[in-house]
């Protein structure tokens, strides 16, 4: 049928069964007789926009026009053909850069010598439908004669283009079937790195996989955790923004809104998107837009006076010079975005200046018209106007076109096995198929500028970017200033770096804008997620005691540290122990010294009156030994005061145990001596039980048992200093760990046993006939002693921290004072104040 024949002519292939399927639905609607109308609707051209014959033909597809008509598909009338309007001088420069590179290669004597390269360049209009038209025209021979024998050969050996990801994908879905290599200079969609679907695709611009992550790291670097996003509603925008949102989430950046626009959207829909941006609270807008969508967004932004935003752009528009006009400068000044490195292409500007397209460039007409302000004279010069076509100050994407053409040339050069000698011919082939070119595109060469060109296993180049900032010079012109870089090839560390150049922010502000959903919590507070809100929106809750805020969360201080007042840092805990500097320690130390001093005074009183009957009757030897032990009891309490150390911990308990054992042994020997002496049936002054040696032996024996217990205790499990962090959270109780609680309670129990024995013997001797019955005073002293130590046990167990030590000192002092006053106070009273009662007759109870 006629449609198949037409398609066969377009594709240059005999078998068009897989192509006809694209038009089945439309044919069913229009009928076979309307096949010409279908082709008319597609606007399929018979000839390319720019072309040149050669031994090898390289195709090109560029968005030379940026707008396309939207035909009415009513299915009742023949649709109007697609019409492309609004010339894009930047894309026009890309096309002529391709032509320049081909001319340069043709003049080269070392690259493809004696081989001429031609070109066929079509206008893709930046849309998918014209892109289909372009790829059909590139693959098709010029002839459209029905019934002509097919050659199964494409008219081009490789295609450079297109400038949009969606257009490139559409072209690949057709050209990929025939393995025609497509080298794009501007299609950045990460989806194109899929070699299973696009095995013949290559590009000279990095994938958005890296750009999107670079943008996320840059946004995080400047502390912007609350941003809005807008994207092109196509493969480029949707894939790039999806990658950015995922990467931003990993960086802790939240998205307030994410809008999408298309250049075919109505003005109302675009206006709605701009209103969403205006009403948002985010001060940073990430615009992942193609040039065409950026144009319509800015036009509406100007209408609604959208200002005060920090724009973050993708490489598609961030260095588009035609946007840097006074119309948009108030909106876009301060913009930040990543782009590929710029370079210089010698001779390109001179080549561009030779191109003539007066009416578009100079806004004039050769035909008189009321709609055009002036008539063209033909003498205008491109170098006299400021036009994106001749602007070679920012050659970034143009250089990608340049590299793509050279990549094809080097691939064919290697495939034809051209020699490296000057003017050496290549091995010509009659059938140079595109699929062979695709295989040899695994090239690695260096341009005249020194830049290396190569493709990885996915057909992608190395991902290196420059971070550019829109700044104004003194004249008010917008400059694209490089302020940082991103190199994805760095094996370790952060690939994003700043070069130290000052940045111009939104609205020419010298202060970096803040864009957060919630302000950072003050020191001592942590973030608490608000239900139903992104993680960047939070409330601040005070950290608990012992916690500090760290990276917006509370962390507990280590065991020996505590939080300061504002919970901003951990400080060492207060170490608490009973010290001499505090009031309680000083008071206890004073009483201890007072008791020792008073005991010493009593000692010297007894020493002065040692020959008197009262002192002799009191068993002076034991009395002096008892006074000595009591002074040690008072002094041993001092070992409990002060910072615990290894030696003080071992000394305090052993000194306490041995001195009190000595004291109790002396009292026990005195009471036993009194009981035996008065219970005897006849006087026996020389009875061994009552002799001084026996008393000394009994004191030594009883004390030695305690010494043995203490030695075993110190040997097996001695007391050691211990930091008690369990009792109080805010402070450390520095105390002596008993080591072996059994040892402590055995020492204390042995003292209690001696005290009980003393009480029993003193109680038995309390009614013995004597004016001065010492047993009565010993009984009272033992009652006080036992009462003190019985109440000590629960108080010791329940007292916290340093009060445990204070209770133990109090028990020592109270029992020592009890013994001193009950036993020696009555005697000192007689010796000092009632000397008349210090006689033998009075001691015997005789008048």
The 10s digit of each residue's pLDDT in 119-154 is 999 999 888 888 898 999 898 865 444 444 445 567
71, 376 in Cβ contact below 8 A? no
Tokens, residue 764: 């038995």
Scored b (16 or more CB within 10 A) or e, 23-48 reads beebeeebeeebbebbbebbbbeeeb
pLDDT band at 764 (very low <50, low <70, confident <90, very high): confident
Residues 6+ apart with CB under 8 A from 497: 484, 485, 486
Confidence check: pLDDT of 758 > 60: yes
Spatial separation of the C-alpha atoms in residues 569 and 584, rounded to whole Å: 32
List of long-range contacts for 135-138, beta carbons under 8 Å, 24+ apart: 135/61, 135/159, 135/170, 135/171, 135/174, 135/175, 136/10, 136/11, 136/44, 136/174, 137/10, 137/44, 137/45, 137/48, 138/48, 138/59, 138/61, 138/175
Closest CA to 626 of 789, 774, 810: 774
- Orientation angle between helical segments 774-798 and 802-832, nearest 10 degrees: 170
| Cα 337 from chain centre | 23
Most confident option among 19-33, 54-68, 494-508, 762-776: 54-68
For residues 326-351, average pLDDT: 90
Residue with tokens 């005897």: 680
> Which one of 453-457, 581-585, 629-633 scores highest in mean pLDDT?
453-457
Task: Tell me the CB-side half-sphere exposure of residue 118, using CA atoms within 13 A.
Answer: 13
Considering the chain, what is the average pLDDT of its residues?
82
This prediction's pTM? 0.65
Mean pLDDT confidence for 474-479: 86
Alpha carbons 289 and 160: distance in angstroms, whole number: 22
Closest to 375 (Cα-Cα) out of 389, 393, 361, 362: 362
Specify which residues 575 forms β-bridges with.
Answer: 732
Residue 34 has pLDDT above 50, yes or no: no
Q: What angle separates helix 802-832 from helix 583-608, to the nearest 10 degrees?
A: 30
Report the percentage of the chain scoring pLDDT > 70.
Answer: 82
| C-alpha–C-alpha distance, residues 33 and 44, integer Å | 18
HSE-up of residue 522 (Cα within 13 Å, Cβ side): 4
Reading the block at residue 353, the tokens are 């200046």
Q: How confident is the model at residue 446 (pLDDT cuts 50, 70, 90)?
A: very high
Q: Which residues contact 458 (CB under 8 A, 6 or more apart)?
A: 193, 194, 195, 207
Greatest mean pLDDT among 24-28, 188-192, 485-489: 188-192
Residue predicted with more confidence, 130 or 355 = 130
Q: When comparing pLDDT for 12 and 548, which is higher?
A: 548
CA–CA dist 540, 319 (Å, integer): 41
Q: Is 714 a residue whose pLDDT tops 60?
A: yes
Q: What is the pLDDT of residue 376?
A: 67
Q: How confident is the model at residue 652 (pLDDT cuts 50, 70, 90)?
A: confident
How does pLDDT run across 547-561, given as a tens digit for each residue? 988 777 888 988 888
Instruction: Write b or e for each residue in 150-164: b if 16 or more Cβ atoms lie within 10 A of its Cβ, otherwise e.
Output: eeeebbbbbbbbbbb
Name every residue whose Cβ is closer than 8 Å to that of residue 354 and which is 6 or more positions away in sequence. Answer: none
Q: 414 or 761: which carries more pLDDT confidence?
A: 414
CA-CA distance, 59 to 61, in Å (whole number)? 7
Check whether 713 has a pLDDT greater than 80.
yes
The residues near 603 (Cβ < 8 Å, ≥ 6 apart) are: 624, 627, 628, 631
Q: Which residues pair with 452 in a beta bridge?
A: 446
Order across the sheet with 117-123: list the strands: 50-52, 117-123, 56-62, 158-161, 182-184, 201-203
pLDDT surpasses 90 at 697 = no
Is 695 or 525 the better-scoring residue by pLDDT?
Answer: 525
Q: What is the pLDDT of residue 156?
A: 93
State residue 475 phi and psi, 5-degree precision: -80, -10
- Residue written as token pair 């561009």: 352
Q: How many contiguous H segments (helices) and E segments (strands) does the chain have?
A: 25, 27
Structural domain spans, the chain = 50-69+82-143+152-205+394-450, 208-341+462-508, 525-572, 583-674+691-844
pLDDT the model gives residue 7:
38
Cα 13 from Cα 150, distance rounded (Å): 6
Is the pLDDT assigned to residue 387 strictly greater than 90? no
Please report the pLDDT score of residue 35 as a whole number: 41
What angle separates helix 774-798 from helix 646-679, to the nearest 10 degrees?
150
Confidence of residue 457 (pLDDT cuts 50, 70, 90): very high
Nearest Cα neighbor of 117 from 411, 397, 392, 348 is: 411
- C-alpha distances in Å from residue 44, one per residue of 47, 145, 295: 9, 15, 27
Predicted pLDDT of residue 613: 76
Tell me if 174 sits within 8 A of 132, measured CB to CB.
Answer: yes
Q: Tell me the H-state helices in 382-509.
A: 397-415, 434-439
Among 328, 322, 275, which residue's Cα sits nearest to residue 299?
A: 328
Q: Quick one: tokens of 637?
A: 């309490």
Strands 336-339 and 117-123: unpaired
pLDDT value at 839 more than 80:
no
Predicted confidence band of residue 363 (pLDDT cuts 50, 70, 90): low
Q: Please tell me which residue, 380 or 305, carries the higher pLDDT value.
A: 305
Lowest mean pLDDT among 512-516, 542-546, 692-696: 692-696
First CA to last CA distance, the chain: 162
Shared fold status for 50-69+82-143+152-205+394-450 and 208-341+462-508: yes
**Rounded to an integer, what distance in angstroms lies between the CA atom of residue 58 and that of residue 119?**
5
- Asked if the bond preceding 162 is cis, omega within 30° of 0, the reply is yes
Task: Return d(Cα 3, Cα 9) in angstroms, integer.
Answer: 10
Class of domain 583-674+691-844: mainly alpha
Which pLDDT score, from 0 to 100, does residue 803 have? Answer: 84
Provide the 3-class DSSP secondary structure of residue 295: helix
Q: Are 121 and 48 in contact (CB under 8 A)?
A: yes
Nearest to 17 by CA among 7, 9, 27, 30: 7
**Mean of the pLDDT values across residues 205-230?**
93
Q: What is the C-alpha separation between 689 and 634, in angstroms, rounded?
A: 31
Top-confidence residue, 508 or 414: 414
d(CA 378, CA 767): 148
Question: If we measure between CA atoms, which residue out of 123, 133, 118, 102 comes closest to residue 49?
Answer: 123
The answer to which of 102-116, 286-300, 360-374, 753-767 has the lowest mean pLDDT is 360-374
The residue that leads in pLDDT, 686 or 309, is: 309
DSSP lists the bridge partners of residue 526 as 541
pLDDT at 771 over 60: no
d(CA 220, CA 217): 5
pLDDT at 493: 64
Give alpha helix (H) positions in 371-415.
Answer: 397-415
Asked if CATH classification 3.30.420.10 holds for the domain at 50-69+82-143+152-205+394-450, the reply, yes or no, is no
Examine the pLDDT at 628 and tell me if it is beyond 70.
yes
Contacts of 126 (CB under 8 A, 6+ apart): 63, 65, 66, 68, 88, 91, 163, 164, 167, 263, 290, 291, 292
SS3 category, 418: coil
Structure tokens at 299: 């036009």
Strands (E) across 88-217 are located at 117-123, 158-161, 182-184, 201-203
Taking the domain 208-341+462-508, which CATH number applies?
3.40.50.2300
| pLDDT interval class at 17 (50, 70, 90) | very low
Cα(68)–Cα(547) distance, integer angstroms: 63
On whether the CB atoms of residues 664 and 735 are closer than 8 A, the answer is no
- How does strand 336-339 pair with strand 310-313? parallel
CB 729 within 8 Å of CB 562:
yes
Note the pLDDT of residue 467. 94
Between 629 and 776, name the one with better pLDDT. Answer: 629
Contacts of 830 (CB under 8 A, 6+ apart): 614, 772, 837, 838
Are the C-beta atoms of residues 416 and 428 closer than 8 Å to each other?
yes
């Amino acid at each position: 049928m006629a449609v198949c024949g037409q398609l066969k002519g377009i594709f240059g292939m005999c078998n068009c069964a897989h192509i006809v399927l694209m038009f089945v639905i439309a044919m069913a609607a229009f009928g076979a007789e309307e096949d010409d109308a279908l082709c008319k609707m597609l606007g399929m051209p018979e000839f390319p926009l720019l072309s040149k014959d050669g031994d090898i033909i390289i195709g090109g597809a560029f968005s030379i026009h940026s707008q396309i008509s939207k035909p009415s598909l009513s299915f009742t009338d023949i649709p109007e053909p697609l019409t492309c309007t609004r010339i894009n001088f930047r894309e026009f420069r890309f096309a002529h850069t391709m032509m320049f590179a081909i001319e340069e290669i043709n003049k080269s004597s070392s690259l493809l010598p004696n081989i001429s390269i031609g070109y066929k360049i079509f206008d893709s209009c930046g849309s998918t439908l014209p892109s289909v038209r372009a790829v059909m025209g590139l693959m098709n021979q010029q002839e459209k004669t029905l019934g002509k024998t097919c050659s199964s050969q494409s008219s081009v050996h490789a295609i450079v283009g297109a400038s949009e990801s969606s257009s490139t994908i559409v072209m690949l879905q057709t050209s990929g079937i025939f393995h025609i290599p497509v080298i794009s200079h501007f299609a950045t969609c990460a989806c194109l790195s899929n070699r299973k679907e696009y095995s013949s695709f290559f590009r000279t611009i990095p994938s958005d996989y890296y750009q999107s992550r670079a943008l996320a790291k840059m946004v995080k670097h400047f502390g912007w955790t609350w941003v809005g996003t807008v994207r092109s509603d196509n493969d480029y925008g949707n894939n790039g923004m999806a990658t950015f949102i995922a990467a931003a989430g990993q960086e802790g950046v939240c998205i307030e809104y994410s809008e999408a626009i298309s250049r075919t959207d109505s003005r109302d829909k675009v206006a709605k998107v701009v209103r969403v941006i205006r009403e948002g609270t985010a001060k940073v807008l990430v615009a992942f837009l193609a040039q065409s969508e950026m144009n319509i967004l800015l036009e509406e932004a100007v209408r609604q006076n959208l200002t005060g935003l920090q724009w973050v752009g993708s490489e598609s528009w961030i260095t588009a010079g035609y946007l840097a006009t006074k119309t948009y400068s108030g909106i876009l000044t301060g913009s930040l975005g990543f782009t590929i490195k710029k370079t210089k292409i010698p001779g390109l500007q001179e080549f561009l200046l030779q191109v003539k397209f007066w009416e578009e460039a100079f806004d004039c007409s050769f035909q008189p018209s009321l709609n055009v302000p002036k008539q063209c004279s033909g003498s205008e010069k491109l170098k006299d106007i400021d036009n994106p076509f001749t602007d070679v100050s920012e050659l970034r994407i143009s250089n990608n076109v340049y590299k793509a053409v050279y990549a094809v040339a080097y691939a064919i050069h290697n495939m034809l096995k051209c020699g490296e000698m000057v003017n050496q011919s290549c091995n010509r082939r009659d059938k140079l198929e595109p699929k062979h070119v695709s295989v040899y595109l695994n090239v690695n060469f260096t341009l005249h500028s020194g830049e290396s060109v190569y493709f990885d296993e996915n057909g992608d180049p190395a991902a290196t970017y420059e971070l550019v900032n829109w700044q104004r010079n003194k004249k008010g012109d917008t400059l694209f200033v490089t302020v940082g870089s991103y190199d994805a090839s760095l094996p370790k560390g952060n690939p994003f770096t700043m070069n130290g150049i000052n940045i111009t922010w939104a609205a020419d502000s010298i202060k970096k804008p803040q864009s957060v959903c919630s302000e950072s919590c003050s020191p001592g507070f942590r973030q608490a997620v608000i239900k139903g809100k992104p993680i960047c929106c939070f409330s601040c809750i005070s950290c608990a005691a012992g916690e500090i805020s760290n990276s917006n969360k509370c962390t507990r201080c280590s065991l020996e540290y505590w939080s300061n007042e504002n919970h901003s840092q951990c400080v060492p805990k207060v170490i608490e122990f009973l010290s001499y500097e505090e009031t309680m320690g000083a008071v206890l130390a004073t009483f201890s010294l007072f008791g020792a001093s008073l005991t010493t005074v009593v000692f010297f009183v007894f020493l002065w009156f040692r020959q008197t009957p009262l002192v002799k009757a009191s068993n002076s030897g034991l009395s002096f030994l008892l006074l000595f032990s009591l002074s040690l009891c008072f002094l041993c309490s001092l070992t409990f005061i002060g910072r615990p150390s290894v030696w003080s911990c071992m000394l305090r308990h052993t000194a306490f145990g041995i001195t009190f054992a000595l004291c109790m042994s002396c009292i026990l020997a005195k009471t036993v001596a009194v009981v035996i002496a008065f219970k005897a049936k006849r006087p026996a002054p020389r009875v061994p039980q009552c002799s001084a040696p026996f008393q000394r032996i009994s004191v030594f024996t009883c004390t030695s048992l305690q010494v043995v217990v203490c030695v075993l205790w110190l040997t097996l499990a001695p007391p050691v200093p211990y930091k008690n962090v369990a009792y109080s959270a805010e402070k450390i109780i520095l105390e002596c760990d008993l080591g072996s609680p059994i040892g402590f309670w055995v020492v204390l129990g042995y003292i209690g046993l001696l005290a009980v024995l003393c009480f029993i013997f003193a109680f038995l001797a309390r009614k013995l006939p004597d004016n001065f019955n010492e047993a009565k005073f010993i009984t009272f002293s033992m009652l006080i002693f036992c009462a003190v130590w019985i109440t000590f046990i629960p108080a010791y167990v329940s007292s916290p921290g340093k009060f445990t030590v204070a209770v133990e000192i109090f028990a020592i002092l109270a029992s020592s004072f009890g013994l001193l006053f009950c036993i020696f106070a009555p005697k000192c009273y007689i010796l000092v104040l009632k000397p008349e009662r210090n006689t033998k007759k009075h001691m015997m109870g005789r008048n």
